[in-house]
Amino acid sequence: MEQPRHRAPQRRRRKKKKNYRPAIMLTAVILAIFMLIGVGVYVYLDNLVNEGDAGQLTPDIVPTEPEISKKVVNLLVAGIDYDAEDDGRDYSDGLGMTDVIMYVSCDIEKGSIRMLQIPRDSYVGENVPTGGTGKINAVYSHGEDSRNRISNLAKVVNEQFKLPVDNYVTIDMAAFKKLIGILGGIEMYVPWDITDPEGNTVPQGTHFVDGNTAEWIVRQRKEYNEGDLKRLEVQQYFYAAVFKTFMTFPMSDLIKVAPGLASYINTDLSISEMLSLFGWLQKVDSSNIGIARCPGGSLYETNGHKGMYGINAETLAPLLNEHFRPYGTPVEASELGLPKNLEFPVGEIAASINLIGQLSSAATE
């Protein structure tokens, strides 16, 4: 009785080995190859994305409070301009200025995003190292820390806006049009007619724009009568278009274009953190993404502040408390470190926030 039972399993085992062992080995080899490729791509991209010239957020930079750090992530985003010949500046020493400054608060728990546009010509006072300009766009390159330039800017955000900074992302503005090209262009609503340096006009309406056109639309200031104010306004429509593109951008395609993007970006986020944040971002509804300009106005010639933008701390404080401190303690205007008692001879913009969904639908209205 025992022998038949012993022989039958032996024959079945031998039959399985004979028929399936090559397939199992082949499958294992294929899986190993894919794992190696996956690890290789991850390591490759992780090596491409680094802190670069921006450096690190130093220990003295104030992050989000530990008790709410799992609920919200606050990012400092800056576009670095190394070539501003139109403004007559010499960047032969390699120093750049922050042409675009934005504070992004990601409320992970509630599934919402709030972005604060900080005008590049914002007056930060005479006690902040700016190379004599008094403008926030010079803080990055002229601050006290020459190795961790991003900390120079983050420190101003901490002290003058009383906002925490957890991570940062900087992008070389010279590569701006290349990045739009990697995305394949974007469909954008242009709120008014805009003419480029060659005399070509982009009329008001919805257009599919390439990198060259997008760069001009976003960076132009001299054509706008209100300078930075109009520039910040048109940028909001651009950001709406970019978010709309990213919302439908497949993760597989993102991985394909990641090497091209990584070479122009400095950040302290790891590849895994960026992919995780991107995955979360794609789930956020556009009706939960808001963007605001710092309220204030042009200072013009008053008190020698030529070409500077003054931020009104009295109207900014409530805006920050309502939209950028979802779990934190409210901060009064008197507690902000921004220059006080500024005068706005030609008026000022009020504190308001626009939803990306509304900006995206402007073309249909």
Question: Which of 95-104, 196-205, 222-231 has the weakest average pLDDT?
Answer: 222-231
- The residues, any chain, with a CB within 8 Å of residue 308's CB and separated by 6 or more, are 121, 122, 123, 134, 135, 298, 299
Q: What pLDDT was estimated at residue 11?
A: 43
Q: What pLDDT was estimated at residue 317?
A: 97
pLDDT: is 233 or 106 the higher one?
106
Using 50, 70 and 90 to split pLDDT, how confident is the model at 149?
Answer: very high
Per-residue pLDDT tens digits for 268-312: 988 778 878 878 887 888 889 899 999 998 887 655 566 789 999
Q: How far apart are CA 307 and CA 61, in angstroms?
A: 29
Q: By C-alpha distance, which of 342, 343, 338, 348 is closest to 125? A: 338
CATH of range 52-364; options 3.40.50.620, 2.60.120.380, 3.40.630.190, 3.90.850.10: 3.40.630.190
The angle formed by the CA atoms of residues 79, 81 and 82, to the nearest 5 degrees, is 140
- The residues, any chain, with a CB within 8 Å of residue 207's CB and separated by 6 or more, are 187, 188, 190, 213
